[in-house]
Amino acid sequence: MSARIVVDGYSEKWLRRGFPWVYPKEVTKADRLFAGTEAVIVGLKGEVLGRGLLDQGWIAARVFRHDDGPLDRAWLEGVVDRALALRAMVIDDRTTGYRLIHAENDGLPGIRVDRWGDRLVVSLDSPAVRPLIDMLVDVLIERLRPIGIHLCYRPDKRDTIDRASMRGGLLYGAPAEGPTEVTERGLRFRIYPDEGPDVGLYPDMRATRTMMEPLWKGRRVLNTFAFTGAFGVAALAHGAASVVNVDLSQKYLDRARDNFSVNGLLPGDDAFVAEDTFKALDRFRRKSIQFDVVVLDPPSFSHGEGMFSAEKDTVRLVAAAARVLAKDGLLLAASNLGEWSPHKFRGEVDDGLRKAERPGQELWFGSQSPDYPAATWFPEGRYLKIGLWRLL
């Protein structure tokens, strides 16, 4: 039997627009609030606004249907088939690693599914959505016939749920023994599906890497916060004169080296620098080492010489990068802070360039790849901001 919660007028307004969340402060009455309980959401006048699953964190309920229909197999098959149809339209036959279901933006709040060749990784924002996963796995097996499906959690920093209770693992099939090789527009990458959600490649940047393909040729490229080297691999494969990858993690640099190798690319040992990005940028500046392209794709938070916060340190980062860019050099800078608007991010870049006394021209501005759709009913869906600037 379903629970019943009553929401206030503000929540009702957003739910009628298709918004998939109910916040705790919007709940005026509830039968019970056990995480994972299926619930009918109603307005103050008793009209049904949707059906979803309750939670006990910063979200009170995730809404999966905006009617009173059941969360059953027929409904879920429709959601999955709609998501598969989009990927069939936007994924080319040279790409085997991509986002298959993009949570709220594909009608499954709190649930993401990534396809890595013949393996799938299911990522959950909260244990509260776990009741749908067995049925989802059955549908995915029927539609895609994967050899393995892996589960992981990616809780929001605002949640207070005990992380120890969020244990991933193999949901179906054979365990992964070593890396799985996938392709992105023909380039090869080795990923680790049992280490989700950060398995070794971020497909949301694929559209940006595609846009950059004709711009790498002949240029000296610095790839900061390099992770496993995807931007560096793409640059060298499309004619860059040289590539230097900087990341604090030697583990990820070793994997970057492996990704260069499987593509037959030999950038040299000096192309992999295990160092804090700010420290490396300052060293390049002091030694008058310049680049024609600098890639800035930092995480929201990281540990280096100190704590890096994209919210606080983007201006300083852009300024440091600008100081090692040659005349007419290109700055490719990104932010995945969902709370930042494109206007806010552009302002941070502008402030950084002014701090470095390097005027620039914006050449291009974009967002995530189309397998990461941003639903019109979910303003938070367009989280990625990325632009290309030419420095004069």
* Contacts of 221-224 spanning 24+ positions with Cβ under 8 A: 221/291, 221/292, 221/293, 221/294, 221/295, 222/246, 222/284, 222/291, 222/293, 222/294, 222/295, 222/321, 222/324, 223/295, 224/277, 224/280, 224/281, 224/294, 224/295, 224/296, 224/297, 224/298, 224/321
CATH number of 202-391: 3.40.50.150
**CA 94 to chain CA mean position, Å:** 21
Pick from 392, 391, 379: nearest CA to 19: 379
335: left (phi over 0), alpha (psi -120 to 50) or beta: beta
Whether the CB-CB separation of 172 and 148 falls below 8 Å is answered with yes
Q: Which residue has the tokens 């620039």?
A: 360
Q: Which residue has the tokens 């049925």?
A: 135
pLDDT score recorded for residue 155: 84
Which 8-state DSSP code applies to residue 195?
A: G
Alpha-carbon distance of 38 to 60, in angstroms, equals: 12
pLDDT score recorded for residue 21: 98
Is 73-181 a domain of CATH 3.40.50.620? no
Angle at CA of residue 98, ends 95 and 104, nearest 5° = 150
Q: Which fold has domain 3-65?
A: 2.30.130
* Tens-binned pLDDT, residue by residue, of the chain (392 aa): 679 999 999 999 999 999 999 999 999 998 767 889 999 999 999 999 999 999 988 999 999 999 999 999 999 999 999 999 999 999 999 999 999 999 999 999 999 999 999 999 999 999 999 999 999 999 999 999 999 999 999 988 777 666 666 788 999 999 998 999 999 999 999 999 999 889 999 999 999 999 999 999 999 999 999 999 999 999 999 999 999 999 999 999 999 999 999 999 999 889 999 999 999 999 999 999 999 999 999 987 555 555 667 788 999 999 999 999 999 999 999 999 988 999 999 999 999 999 999 999 999 999 999 999 999 999 889 999 999 999 99
Residue ranges of domains in the chain: 3-65, 73-181, 202-391
pLDDT score recorded for residue 166: 76
Distances (CA, A) of 227 to 54, 65, 69, 215, 258: 36, 37, 43, 21, 12
Whether the CB-CB separation of 49 and 15 falls below 8 Å is answered with yes
Whether the predicted model's global pTM rises above the 0.75 cut: yes
pLDDT score recorded for residue 304: 52
